[in-house]
Amino acid sequence: MVRSGSGQRPFASVVHVITLLEWGGAQENTLHTVGKLDPGKYEKILLSGRGGMLDAAAERIPACRFHRVDSLVREIRPLSDFRAFASLTAALREEKRRSGGAPLIVHTHSSKAGILGRAAARAAGADVVIHSLHGFGFHDDQPPAVRKLFVGLERAASRWTDMFVAVSEENIRVGVREKILTRNRCRLIRSGFDTSRFTSGSREAGRRLLGLPENVPVVGTVAVFKPQKAPHDFVEVARRVTADIPDARFVMVGDGALRPEVERTLEKTSLCGRFRIMGWRAEIPDLLRAFDVFLLTSRWEGLPKVVPQALISGVPVVATAVDGTREIIDDGKDGFLCPPGDVEAMADRVAALLSGAMRLDPSYKRDRLLAEFDQAEMVRAQERLYGELLARKGFPCPPST
């Protein structure tokens, strides 16, 4: 609790709460933010459910206390959810006690942790409560009663929220439309990443990883295998494209609950020799450069970081016209946008790009993307927001950087 070199306490304790540290943009950004917050200004705490692929990375964050909440799970389970609320409340009360009078900021991420974490923050007497929108837990594919329940829960939790952070303008519009938030209670902070990695990827290295020569056309994606990302649509697009371009190859980088289903589907097709599922890999910049087309078949999104990553890498994108994706792709210039679920339209666009019938310039706004998705600026913007909200509540404000 001592500020570096000053002998004083930090200005505030910041507790980040997230449901599960699986592989994904929200999780990576949370870990990076916690890791890079100035320890001279902020005491850093991270709370998460147990069993995520990134738990080990969380344990390595310097000057951070990482606690697992076993009962915090993604699925709706009333008994576990009550236990998670009680555990989160107890943990936040303990952080409030440990703060020695310094304010307590609670910053939640993801739908389940967002609901339970904000309720616990209110019960524990947190001084500032922030919720990051990495997409909403409700969407149009849900049964109306389920969607109505989730919207109602978000409205309830909104009453305990001082400020929202959104990664896309579309999430803000949806929040306003559903009466979850008002525009002046939400700040747009893009989902940053280490942009320098994607300016230095190697197509040759990526092709070696794939075991493919330069002249073979490759369509790839990077995504979690879950319903949101619609991996079966990727397989169907591949099946249709091979009818026109038999030598095309298809690569899925990622893993998740739907992977066994996707593999069973592939076994029933003629794609097996043309298709690779690689699991999670660290060499994403090289693999992106190895693709001739990047394809994202999501049914809904917050803002998928892999889309600007592909464009920065110089790869044209075919993606569904959902949420934040529409803010990144300029249809017909650096990518094509298709209706979600429209595998015929996606296949037509992919085939046209592979055959050379259509051409795009994926790098024409690279400089803008490099600035907009700068990871360091993402952290600085969040620190500025913390200081602003502390000042509103009458607490000493950390000096800006």
The CA-CA-CA angle for residues 71, 76, 81, to 5°, reads 35
- What is the DSSP code (8-state) at residue 184? G
- Output the pLDDT for position 3: 40
Q: Are 12 and 397 in contact (CB under 8 A)?
A: no
Q: Are 366 and 311 in contact (CB under 8 A)?
A: yes
3 lies in some domain: no
57 and 178 in a single domain? The answer is: yes
Token readout for 328 is 């990144």
- Output the pLDDT for position 76: 86
182 and 200 in a single domain? The answer is: no
288 and 330 in a single domain? The answer is: yes
Q: Which residue from 198, 227, 192, 348 is spatially nearest to 297, judged by alpha carbons?
A: 227
**CA-CA distance, 112 to 81, in Å (whole number)?**
9
115 and 220 in a single domain? The answer is: no
400 lies in some domain: no
266 lies in some domain: yes
- Output the pLDDT for position 401: 60
163 and 245 in a single domain? The answer is: no
Tell me: the pLDDT tens digits for 314-371? 999 999 999 899 999 999 999 999 999 999 999 999 999 999 999 999 999 999 999 9
Neighbouring C-beta atoms of residue 371, cutoff 10 Å: 11
Tell me: the pLDDT tens digits for 169-209? 999 999 999 999 999 999 999 999 999 999 999 999 999 99
Token readout for 27 is 């999780």
> Please, what's the b/e burial string for 135-145 (b: 16 or more CB within 10 A of its CB; e: otherwise)?
bbbbbeeeeee
139 and 208 in a single domain? The answer is: no
50 and 110 in a single domain? The answer is: yes
333 and 379 in a single domain? The answer is: no
74 and 129 in a single domain? The answer is: yes
Single pTM value for the model: 0.88
Q: Which residue has the tokens 């190697």?
A: 202
222 lies in some domain: yes
In the chain, which residues have pLDDT < 70? Answer: 1-8, 400-401
240 lies in some domain: yes
104 and 230 in a single domain? The answer is: no
- Output the pLDDT for position 194: 94
* Separation of CA 385 from chain center: 20
- Output the pLDDT for position 1: 36
- Output the pLDDT for position 8: 64
Q: Which residue from 381, 384, 393 is spatially nearest to 104, judged by alpha carbons?
A: 393
- Output the pLDDT for position 52: 86
Q: Which domain holds residue 267?
A: 196-372
102 and 171 in a single domain? The answer is: yes
Number of residues assigned to the chain:
401
Number of domains present in the structure of the chain: 2
112 and 223 in a single domain? The answer is: no
399 lies in some domain: no
Neighbouring C-beta atoms of residue 151, cutoff 10 Å: 17
359 lies in some domain: yes
2 lies in some domain: no
Q: Are 374 and 382 in contact (CB under 8 A)?
A: no
Q: Tell me, what CATH number does 65's domain have?
A: 3.40.50.2000
Q: Which residue has the tokens 């979600």?
A: 340
